[in-house]
């Protein structure tokens, strides 16, 4: 079977956009052959901000335009690919494409996490698809795995390292003993971090991806303002060293967990995990997502979480699916919510073990004072550690680590607020969850 070419309108021709062009040029025939002639795609229009900018791929000049809406309005375009980022112009473009009943492919996790409710509602109204494999974990096909391969599973647990920039920075802080500023600079010099690294290091890039995974796994739209997010900016070599001595590594982890009452726990934050766990060995800019389903059991998805061709590969996968949808009106329409009663677990009710580091004056009664406050709210101590600095054994100020048994976050916050009022405390306590994966 053969078919005429499906026209693609590409909004954005930066790193990922030029990668999409390269793969179609190189493997367009392969895609057509694997689909037995059912899928043949060609880029018909490319919207960019600056026509004079040097590109990462050579495409004919007559394909380019500076009018973003040309990729929707051009009659030769059947599918619109949004790769410009942001949440304003990108929203307008996707909305226009859906209203024109042209399927959309996007890698814009921030837009879908923050304004997905509007776009998915419009998608359902217009019976037109939104595909977003490239929005989570780069080239790892995690979206299709949840939507298709695991459709018969209740997804009980998702734990992921889904921001490569933070993962690289933490690795360098661990292996080379770098401070956060030095590790960040190295990541920028190597091109792993953007000039504005904010979303990568403050946790929100990973959190947006976790929100999408949570919606897909559990069928309801999640409000980002209800999600607990912490980044890596304040992590110090001292805590990484303590973690290592205790048998842990520090990773920025995202969690999506189904509780017995049907509520979903979703959060992103730096955490301690055992050096023996498989996620501890995920280094550099690689991503990994561990999924537990009631039928599948446990499975791990691993690969490059960013980069030109890994991300472009996911875009191409969605393009192929979108091309099929044009030929079959009853095919997958991306994500459509199927629950209206979904609830998130309040962060105060979440439970883990904890590492707490207190900066204190070296005086009698410190351990007793802190222990009393923790005990008053029912928190159990599994161990304490206060190493002596051999270069300064008579130091006036010391670092003291408490390890706590599993407890709810709410009572811990209450206790820490009281501990901070003690005269012996010289800085705000440092808190890490100890995850048992």
CATH 3.30.360.10-classified regions of the chain: 142-304
DSSP-derived pairing of the beta strands 6-11 and 79-82 = parallel
Reported as a single tens digit per residue, the pLDDT across 17-42 is 999 999 999 998 888 888 877 788 99
Q: Name the token pair of 286.
A: 């690689």
Residue 408 neighbours by CB under 8 Å, 6+ apart: 348, 349, 350, 351
CA 407, 412, 415, 416 torsion-angle sign: positive
What is the rounded CA–CA span in Å between residue 176 and residue 186? 12
Does 209 participate in catalysis according to the annotation?
yes
What is the chain's mean pLDDT, rounded? 90
Reported as a single tens digit per residue, the pLDDT across 234-282 is 999 999 999 999 999 999 999 999 999 999 999 999 999 999 999 999 9
CATH 3.40.50.720-classified regions of the chain: 6-138+308-327
Compute the average pLDDT of residues 221-232.
94
Residue with tokens 């690689």: 286
pLDDT of residue 168: 95
353 with 138: CB under 8 angstroms? Answer: no
- 71, 115, 272 from 86: Cα distances, Å: 17, 11, 32
Reported as a single tens digit per residue, the pLDDT across 122-175 is 998 998 989 998 888 877 889 889 988 898 999 999 999 999 999 999 999 999
What is the rounded CA–CA span in Å between residue 135 and residue 127? 21
What is the rounded CA–CA span in Å between residue 88 and residue 108? 11
Is residue 2's pLDDT more than 60? no
Q: What is the DSSP letter of 4?
A: P
Question: Which entry of 5, 209, 251, 418 is annotated as an active-site residue?
Answer: 209
Reported as a single tens digit per residue, the pLDDT across 43-53 is 999 999 989 88
Q: What is the DSSP letter of 61?
A: G
Assigned architecture for domain 6-138+308-327? 3-Layer(aba) Sandwich (3.40)
Assigned architecture for domain 142-304? 2-Layer Sandwich (3.30)
CATH 3.30.70.260-classified regions of the chain: 350-434
What is the rounded CA–CA span in Å between residue 256 and residue 264? 7
CATH homologous superfamily for the domain 350-434: ACT domain (3.30.70.260)
């Amino acid at each position: 079977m053969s078919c005429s070419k499906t026209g693609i309108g590409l909004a954005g021709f930066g790193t990922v956009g030029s990668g999409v062009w390269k793969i179609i040029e190189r493997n367009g025939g392969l895609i057509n052959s694997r689909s037995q002639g059912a899928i043949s795609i060609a880029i018909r229009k490319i919207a960019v901000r600056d026509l004079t900018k040097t590109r990462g791929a050579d495409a004919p000049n007559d394909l380019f335009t500076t009018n973003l809406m040309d990729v929707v309005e051009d009659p030769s375009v059947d599918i619109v690919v949004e790769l410009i980022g942001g949440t304003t112009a990108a929203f307008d473009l996707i909305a226009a494409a859906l209203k024109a009943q042209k399927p959309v492919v996007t890698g814009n996790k921030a837009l879908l996490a923050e304004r997905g409710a509007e776009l998915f509602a419009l998608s359902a109204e217009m019976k037109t698809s939104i595909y977003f494999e490239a929005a989570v974990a780069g080239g790892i096909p995690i979206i299709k795995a949840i939507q298709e391969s695991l459709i018969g599973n209740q997804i009980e647990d998702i734990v992921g390292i889904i921001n490569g920039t933070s993962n690289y920075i933490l690795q360098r802080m661990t292996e080379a003993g770098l401070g956060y500023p030095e590790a960040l600079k190295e990541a920028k010099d190597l091109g792993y971090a953007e000039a504005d690294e904010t979303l990568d290091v403050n946790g929100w890039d990973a959190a947006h991806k976790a929100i999408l995974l949570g919606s897909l796994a559990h069928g309801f739209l999640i409000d980002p303002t209800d999600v607990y997010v912490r980044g890596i900016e304040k992590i110090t070599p001292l805590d990484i060293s303590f973690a290592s001595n205790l048998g842990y590594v520090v990773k920025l982890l995202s969690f999506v967990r189904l509780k017995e009452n049907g509520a979903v726990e979703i959060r992103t934050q730096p955490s301690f995990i055992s050096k023996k766990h498989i996620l501890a060995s995920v280094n550099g800019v690689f991503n990994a997502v561990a999924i537990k389903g009631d039928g599948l059991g446990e499975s791990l998805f691993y690969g490059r979480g960013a980069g030109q061709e890994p991300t472009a590969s996911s875009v191409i996968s969605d393009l192929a699916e979108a091309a099929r949808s044009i030929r079959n009106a009853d095919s997958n329409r991306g994500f459509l919510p199927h629950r209206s009663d979904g609830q998130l677990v309040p962060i105060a009710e979440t439970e883990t073990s904890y590492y707490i580091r207190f900066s204190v004056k070296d005086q009698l009664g410190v351990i007793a004072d802190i222990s009393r406050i923790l005990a008053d709210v029912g928190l159990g101590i599994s161990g304490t550690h206060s190493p002596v600095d051999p270069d300064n054994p008579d130091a006036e100020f010391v670092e003291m680590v408490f390890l706590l048994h599993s407890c709810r976050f709410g009572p811990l916050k209450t206790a820490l607020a009281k501990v901070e009022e003690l005269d012996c405390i010289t800085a705000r306590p440092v808190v890490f969850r100890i995850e048992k994966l």
